[in-house]
A and B are shown apart, each in its own frame.
Chain A
Amino acid sequence: MKRWGGILAWLVVSLLCAVALATIALHRGESINAMWLVVAALCSYALGYRFYSKFLAARVLAWDALRATPAERLENGRDFVPTNRWVVFGHHFAAIAGPGPLVGPVLAAQFGYLPGTLWILVGAVFGGCVQDFVILFFSVRRDGKSLSEIARDEVGRLGGVVAYLAVISIIILILGVTALIVVNALKSSPWGTFTIAMTIPIALLMGVYLRVLRPGKVLEGSLLGFILVLLAIWGGQWVAESPLLARYFTLSAPALALLIIGYGFAASALPVWLLLAPRDYLSTFVKLGTIAILALGIIAFRPTLHMPALTRFIDGTGPVMAGKIFPFAFITIACGAVSGFHSLIASGTTPKLIRRETETRFVGYGGMAAESLVAIMATIAACVLQPGVYFAISSPAGVVGSAPATAAATISSWGFPVTASGMAALAREVGEQTLFNRTGGAPAFAVGMAHIFAHSLGSRLLMALWYHFAIMFEALFILSLLDAGTRVGRFMFQEALGHLWRPLGRTSWYPSVLFNSGLIVAAWGYFLWQGVRDPLGGINSLWPLFGTANQLLATVALCVATTIIIKMGKARYSAVTLVPLAWLVAVTFTASWQKIFDPDPHIGFLAHARQLSSAPLRSPATARLIFNDRLDAAVAAILVMLVALIVLESTLQWLQVLTGRKQARIHEAPFVPTRFATEEAS
């Protein structure tokens, strides 16, 4: 009876999923309710988790409930600690959820709500969740080794080098592009800049609370910090209204970029962790709280999506991101569908906390499904806006013009009506001077989020507060990502340069710390500066590069996973990682090719450089833009060559193993029975 009840329940879930997906996909010319996206997502994840991940666990990975994990065997109370699965899930989710799943879907909304939503759902269930789950599982089977180490052991030395290069390039690009998002969100915004500036004294106060008054009580301290941040947001409106104070906090994009570059260097080179530690806790607190509130807001408000299912920009002429739906929608949304960066977390701290092998499914597959839901919420936040408003905020001045009337006329001519006076009223409502040309995704997301919050959790009079809350939330956790990422990059440079000259690898030698911090900050700072000076907003060039780098890392992870599956003698199941791998290779190759060689100067870097070169008058600024285009083309070429190398080396391995020319040897830790199985049984 119970069995039949279960079958019936899953039939209902399947039916609901089919109805929701059909509603999303087939409605044309009329608005749909956002709850259809939520229902489709929840049902897809539930079905994927219940059936597909169970198949992966039992048939492909052949997990062993009796096998001890590294957390148990190597327990040391520091890195290796057997931990409750819900606690590991929360820890893992807090590490994987960043700005990516919020920004990518907002940028991809230019194609309409349908392409992004379908890619997020299909990509997560069959790609991203699978990648996170299998890499976590394989790392658990290998004493919690990192992706680079597993790649070196299982694929070959080249695999390890490619993994290292992919990680460092993705770190540089993500730091450059996310810093640009903060700059675009805060430029000429005294309210937003004041709020973010206030997080510094607030973090210092938290530091005093944590170190002197209540040592180690981080949750209390973070709650206190959160209340103070809310007060700072409240106070920001008076700063914006005061002519004297507003002057100090109204900064141009280059000024903000320089401040952020200086901040990144200080965070990496100086012992300012007394400030950074509380800021880090504060940003995590705000991030988790805001995601929870956004989910509640969407359920309470059940907003209508005003963006059509598909826009005219699927033809590649989009103002936010030039390029056709294939491959650019799949590059634009990485986190939320398939994110290679997750494989670093899944082979970093998380495998060292897993108590039982059987818990990898819940943490790996389930954690990614939760992040994918965040991406769906971001899609909803962007698509509840009137399309004209969305394009007015997200289009760069280089495409629509910088004068409000010109921009409004251009956007209206695309069939998305918007007026300069309407945008001015909206800007006043959210406490900004203007909302035109605010590229980067963060301002559009913030307006959408404020819209949802104002309708579900308060009156429209609170729009300005909600908008600045959203901006603060994004900027705060991007800045935390920036300082942590810069330090990770500095350690990676030290690790590599230590092979050239040993003192450069010493993490405690101050000249090495300064040199390597300068190197990593210069690398991402260059991309940030390039984006700030780009008349097309910078996001158009840099986000696809970041997306390609992220998918490149996913390619490395899936190559490693496929190699291990084949070596395990499970070649008949290798399609589970091979199909997403083939898809990502197709996407990254096509995107890179188009970004380098496409004759349309809006898409191809080289075509854009040629267009600039042919202009009769070449200023120093034009020469710099030409150089940047060529640099971006070179970066894209290097990334795609790395993909080719890892795929080639892996394919050779597979062929050698499958044809019996090479003995399949996997590098798992030896079997040790777990004590938890008997403890649970008794």
Chain B
Amino acid sequence: MRQLQRAGVILMAMLREIFDESAYRRFLQRSGQPPSRFSYREFLRQRFTAKPRPRCC
């Protein structure tokens, strides 16, 4: 049961990383901002105006 719970935690962490939720959390920590519409807009702007990450074929 405990292992199943741990697997669930890791799966959620994996999904949060893939879907940039963790990156947003780190952005908030780095910039010292609280989560808000404005901070998320700034996060998206920075992320999508920077050089995009390559994605395979």
Contact = CB atoms under 8 A, between A and B. Distances in A.
Interface string B19-57: 111101111011000011101110111011101111111
A178 B39 CA distance: 35
A78 B37 contact: no
Contacts of A277: 44, 47-48
Contacts of B55: 95, 98, 345, 480-481, 484-485
A154 to B, nearest CB: 21
Contacts of A271: 49
Contacts of A480: 55
A215 B17 contact: no
Contacts of A81: 26
Given A215-B37, A215-B40, A273-B48, A481 B29 contact: no
A219 B21 contact: yes
Contact of A216 (B13, B15, B24, B54): B24
A87 B17 contact: yes
A16 B5 CA distance: 32
A22 B47 CA distance: 50
A254 interface: no
A361 B13 CA distance: 20
A99 interface: yes
B42 to A, nearest CB: 11
Contacts of A218: 19-21, 24
- Interface SS of chain B: helix
A235 interface: no
Nearest to B10: A86
A636 interface: no
A21 to B, nearest CB: 27
- Give chain A's interface residue range (CB within 8 Å of chain B): 35 or more
Most chain B beta-carbon neighbours within 10 Å: one of A178, A345, A480: A345
Interface in A151-183: 170, 174, 178
Interface residues of B, number: 36
Interface stretch (A42-50, A336-344, A399-407, A570-578): A336-344
Given A100-B57, A215-B36, A83 B44 contact: no
Contact of A342 (B21, B47, B52, B56): B56
A95 B29 contact: no
B52 A484 contact: yes
Contact of A211 (B18, B41, B51, B56): B41
A281 B19 contact: yes
Given A273-B48, A284-B19, A341 B37 contact: no
Nearest to B7: A86
B19 A95 contact: no
Nearest to A485: B55
Contacts of A345: 54-56
A455 interface: no
Given A210-B40, A216-B40, A284-B19, A339 B56 contact: yes
B24 to A, nearest CB: 4
A218 B27 CA distance: 15
A73 B39 CA distance: 28
Given A217-B21, A273-B49, A276-B48, A98 B35 contact: no
Contacts of A178: 57
A96 B54 CA distance: 9
B49 to A, nearest CB: 7
Nearest to A371: B56
Most chain A beta-carbon neighbours within 10 Å: one of B15, B41, B43, B54: B54
A16 B17 CA distance: 36
A211 B13 CA distance: 22
A69 B25 CA distance: 22
Interface string A335-360: 10001011011001100000000000
Given A97-B56, A273-B48, A348-B54, A219 B40 contact: no
A25 to B, nearest CB: 29
A219 B15 contact: yes
Contacts of A484: 52-55
A86 B36 CA distance: 29
Given A87-B13, A87-B17, A339 B54 contact: no
22 contacts: A78-B27, A78-B30, A87-B14, A88-B17, A90-B15, A91-B18, A210-B40, A215-B35, A215-B40, A216-B21, A216-B24, A216-B35, A216-B43, A218-B24, A271-B49, A273-B49, A277-B47, A284-B18, A341-B56, A481-B57, A484-B54, A485-B55
Given A210-B40, A281-B20, A288-B18, 10 more contacts: A84-B13, A91-B18, A218-B24, A219-B19, A222-B19, A277-B48, A341-B54, A480-B55, A484-B54, A484-B55
Interface of A: 77-78, 81, 83-84, 86-91, 94-100, 170, 174, 178, 210-212, 215-219, 222, 271, 273-274, 276-277, 281, 284-285, 288, 334-335, 339, 341-342, 344-345, 348-349, 480-481, 484-485, 487-488, 491, 507, 546, 550
